[in-house]
Each structure stands twice: as C-alpha cells, then as structure tokens.
Amino acid sequence: MRTRRRSTLDTPAARPDADGASLGWPVALPPVVPPEALPPQPDLPRIKVLHVITRFWAGAGGNTLLSALGAAPDRYDVWVAGADGGPLWERAERAGLRTVKLRRFREVLSPFDDLSVLWQLVRLLRRERFTVVHTHSAKGGFLGRLAAWLTRVPLVVHTYHGFSYHDYMPAWRRRLYLTLERLVRRFTHAFLAVSPRVASEAVAMRLAPPGSVTVVPSAVELDQLPDRPDPRLRKELGLPAGTRLVGTVGRLDFQKAPLDFVRMAARVAAARPAVRFVMVGDGPMADEVRAEAERLGVEVALVGFRADAPVLATAFDVFVISSLYEGLGRALTEALGSGRPVVATAVNGVPDLVVPGSTGLLAPPGDPGALAESVTWLLDHPEEGRRMGGQGRVLVRTLFDPALMCELIDRTYRHLLGLPDPGGQEIELTDRPQARPVAAAATADARAGLVAEKRGA
C-alpha cells in the first residue's frame, strides 16, 4: 500500500494526527455492484448531533441552521434545541430536522429559568444519548456544555459567533459572564470561530486554550444573493433616478448603534443634500431613531423588518454598519456578497472581512463623524467603491460557501471521533508488492547490525 497527500485547508481539524486511528484508513472503495442490485442491507447507525443555541434566529441562528442542513444525512442525525420564537424553526422542521424548543430560555441571566433549561437539556441528553453536542452563543454555550458534562457526552464543540460580553456593559456583569464562560472551557473538546480575529479574541480572553480554535467562516446562502441591484426599494421610497442612497440592515438595538447611523446621516446630508438614507430592520430603539432624526433635521426612512432585506440592500450606493460590537455580521457578509461598497466599524471580526481600500472602509465604533467621512469618500469615488464591492463579492462567494463551512465542521467531528478524513490523507489500494515502510526498514537494518556484531564476536 502506498500513500499520497493532497493539499487541504490548513486547519487543526484538517491536519492528519499521527496518533489518530483514521490516518491509514481508506475513506471508501468503489462499489463492485450497484446498491440496488444487492439484497437488503442494514442501515448503519448515524452519529447523533445536538446543536444548542439561545436564539434560533438572526446571524448565529442562520449559521446553525445551515450547519444542520448541510450535515451528511447518511452520517449524521441532527437535532436543534433552543428558545422558542423566530422564523427558522419552521424551516428546520420542513427540512426534516429534529427540533426541541426549550421553555423559559432567556438571553439574560435568570437563575430559576436557567436551572429549568439546564434540567430540560440534561433530560434530553440522557434520553437520546447524543455523540456530539455543538453549542452556539453565550447562554446556549454555557448551559449546553454544562449539561453535556453532567451527562458525559463524548464530544463537545463550541462555536464563537461573537461575544455578548463587551466594554459597554457594567464591569461586574462582564466579569461574571467571562467567569462563567471560562468555567465551561474545560468541558469543551474543540472550539470554532467565524473569523481569525474572533478566534484570537477567544484565546486572548482565556475562553479557549491557545492552538485549540479552528476558523470556520459563517456561511451565507450564496444562491439567494442577487447579482444586480433590485429597483423595488427605490420605487417604494419614490426616489428619482440617479438619487444616491445610503442604507443599513439590522436590528434597531444598542449593539447596532442605530443612533450613530442617524448622526452620520445628518453629517453626510449637510455636505451632500441630495443623498437619501434608509434603515431596514426593527427593534426596541425604533422610536429613539425617529426622534433623533427629527431632532437633527435629517430624513431617514425606516422600512421595518423585511425578510427580503439582502435583496433590498442591493439598492444602496453605500452600505453602512455602525455596530459597537459584532462577531462578523451576517448583513455585512450578505452586502459584500452582492457587491455593495461598504463602510463598517472596526469591531471584533469585521476587519477580517472589510479591509480598508480593498473590500471597503472602516471607522472607529461610536464615531459618527468618522463614519460620515468614509461614506462621503465612497460617494465621491463611485468607481473605486464599485471595485471594492466587486472584490468583496469574490471574497464572500469563495470563503462563505455553505458547503465549505459544513466540510470544515464535518472534518472537525471526524478528526475528534477518529473517523477517516476525506480531506486529509488519501489512500491508494494496490495489489502490487509494497515497499518497506521507513520504520520497518530501520528496524530490520538494526537487527541485521546486531547479527553481524554477534558473528564478529
């Protein structure tokens, strides 16, 4: 038997392990007879995987859904558990995924509710005997990993989509969240992160050991990203032809800093009166946004939540992200994937995607003036903005393919479970005489030397 290597993505999960049981095992052999010509064969057991997430919606929820849908159905039996609410549950159930909606699951600390959720998870894990528990988000990650440890689940994986602890919360709460996160670090066999900077932050905050985090880009559904601008939003807003439009997509809450978008808009409007502004999304700060726009005398159209937001965003001449913290940002990824010129705040994993002068422009968080300066520059340099958006489109459509994300997750599971890795080492089977392995040859030579020594003696 001889071996040959083929190049793979250089991730810890992709690299063959000298101690792994799968290193020298062929992934598959070609069938001699087609399956339909055989007598009935037994179904082999599948690996049971439970994804635990706090909120099954928005960026992390969409990522989790694509991870579950993309798992090989002949190899994995995939379940999803999380808080009730959001549009993804129905889609998951239509696709045949097993779903568990956990009662009393809250995003914020709530000791009695959290104990109830933990007990529900422990009962589920004991009853179904999962091989893999894969957790997402802060609360889902803590409770899911704690329940997995209590029930001795063989493999526990956690994905960092971003961080819910940040410098804008009270110091005591941040310390508490970090302490809880570090507590369950020891219960985790592998860590994934949606971008290199998110991975680096997880290590720097001592949430994951050095060398333990694999970067797995958070996929988007590329076939749903438009190839050209959609005119519907401009028609809805009654904009004359040629009107420049600056917009954003996102929930109107503290994290997304929607008031900074409004303040940016007021500065840009003062310098470029013909520019119009729009916000796609809804949330608890909607009334504050309207009040701030009225106070500053700038017209900002709020169109509310729209399921077709990625398509509407193709109407923007400049797409803006004003977030104070953001793992990577699904809306940002979708905007770049459709070729939009982008201005974003330089937070968490965003600079991994928005490279100044290459795929967009950056501004410090909490600085509407800097946002306005970068937006104005792109409005004044449309050709450069178009080229940046084009490069962003190529980057997203290459790196954020769901098939790639699912392959890397599958590779992580396989590596840790000792299963053959289709992307690692490829084995060729042959009936030709085999060359002696190096170690065997060395052993034989050493023995020959000992025999010669004895004879000489």
Question: With contact defined as beta carbons under 8 Å apart, do 224 and 400 qualify?
Answer: no
| Radius of gyration for the chain, computed over Cα atoms and rounded to the nearest angstrom | 26
Describe the chain by its helix, strand, coil percentages, rounded to 5: 45, 15, 40
Q: Can you give the pLDDT at residue 429?
A: 59
Q: Read off the pLDDT band of 18 (50, 70, 90).
A: very low
First to last CA, the chain: 39
Q: Can you give the pLDDT at residue 11?
A: 41
Least confident range of 14-18, 62-66, 100-104, 283-287? 14-18
Q: From CA 444, how far away is CA 435, in angstroms rounded?
A: 13
Q: From CA 271, how far away is CA 371, in angstroms rounded?
A: 13
Within 8 A by CB and 6+ apart from 106, the residues are 83, 113, 114, 139
| % of the chain beyond a pLDDT of 70 | 86
Q: From CA 63, how far away is CA 327, in angstroms rounded?
A: 12
Q: Can you give the pLDDT at residue 230?
A: 87
100: Cα within 13 Å, side-chain hemisphere: 21
Q: Which residue bears the tokens 């999380």?
A: 82
Question: With contact defined as beta carbons under 8 Å apart, do 127 and 81 qualify?
Answer: no
Residue 414, token pair as written in the block: 């396989």
Q: From CA 331, how far away is CA 198, in angstroms rounded?
A: 17
Q: Can you give the pLDDT at residue 226?
A: 81
Q: Which amino acid is at 353?
A: L
- Does the pLDDT of residue 422 top 90, yes or no? no
Q: Average pLDDT of the chain?
A: 87
Q: Which amino acid is at 220?
A: V
- Does the pLDDT of residue 320 top 60, yes or no? yes
Q: Can you give the pLDDT at residue 107?
A: 81
- Taking only the tens place, the pLDDT of each residue in 117-161 is 999 999 999 999 999 999 999 999 999 999 999 999 999 999 999
Q: Can you give the pLDDT at residue 16?
A: 41
Q: Read off the pLDDT band of 426 (50, 70, 90).
A: low
Question: With contact defined as beta carbons under 8 Å apart, do 131 and 48 qualify?
Answer: yes
Cβ count near 195 (within 10 Å): 24
- Taking only the tens place, the pLDDT of each residue in 185-201 is 999 999 999 999 999 99
Q: From CA 370, how far away is CA 250, in angstroms rounded?
A: 20
Mind giving me the DSSP string for 301-347?
EEEE--TTHHHHGGG-SEEEE--SS-SS-HHHHHHHHTT--EEEE--
Is pTM, for the whole model, over 0.95?
Answer: no
Mean pLDDT across 382-398: 94
Q: From CA 315, how far away is CA 245, in angstroms rounded?
A: 7
